[in-house]
Amino acid sequence: EVQLVQSGAEVKKPGESLKISCKGSGYSFTSYWIGWVRQMPGKGLEWMGIIYPGDSDTRYSPSFQGQVTISADKSISTAYLQWSSLKASDTAMYYCVRSGYVVWGKGTTVTVSS
Amino acid sequence: DVVMTQSPLSLPVTLGQPASISCRSSQSLVHSDGNTYLNWFQQRPGQSPRRLIYKVSNRDSGVPDRFSGSGSGTDFTLKISRVEAEDVGVYYCMQGTHWLWTFGQGTKVEIK
């Protein structure tokens, strides 16, 4: 079965760092782009960026460039989304999705609060 | 960036009645390869989005045939021929032709 399994919910304080993960299985991880999508509470879907694990080619939305880092470790079929200094406004659900947009992770809830 | 504009943003529908959602893009979604990468997604409460339609009018596997997509260029429509209770949720159009891929604002479908 093709699936993306995301890491669990996180509760952090402003200024802390965070790295969440998305592990692919059931397909060739290096052959498909993985994207990250943000959904703030009660709001719509926003593309943050995409990565091609085969060569680590990465593209960011201008809205998220410099705010997050997207990476991948193809040896363990896992993509990552990380923050060096969280803000309260980073509170959201984060989804990973495989190119083709059919395979989605269940989402990781990130809550940033003092 | 390509701006995707959906209307209406809220759509109360009577069970068994049709529903229609419009999606307009700020520029043509025809790719240089000749395809139009316009997708429709359904997001039920508490769930991840699910793709219903790809390349304007192709239904994904398992999607009921009461869902249909149409359109071309910059103007697209998702239709539900007879709304059922399980169709409640938010529907998004999304273009995959131009990077940055972009979603519409979402249309909330609810039962009257």
Return per-residue pLDDT of chain B as tens, 112 residues: 999 999 999 999 999 999 999 999 999 999 999 999 999 999 999 999 999 999 999 999 999 999 999 999 999 999 999 999 999 999 999 999 998 999 999 999 999 9
Q: How far is CA A27 from CA A1, A6, A30, B88, in A?
A: 8, 16, 9, 32
3-state secondary structure of A21: strand
Return the residue of B nearest to A45 by Cα. Answer: B103
B67 touches A at CB < 8 Å: no
A102 touches B at CB < 8 Å: yes
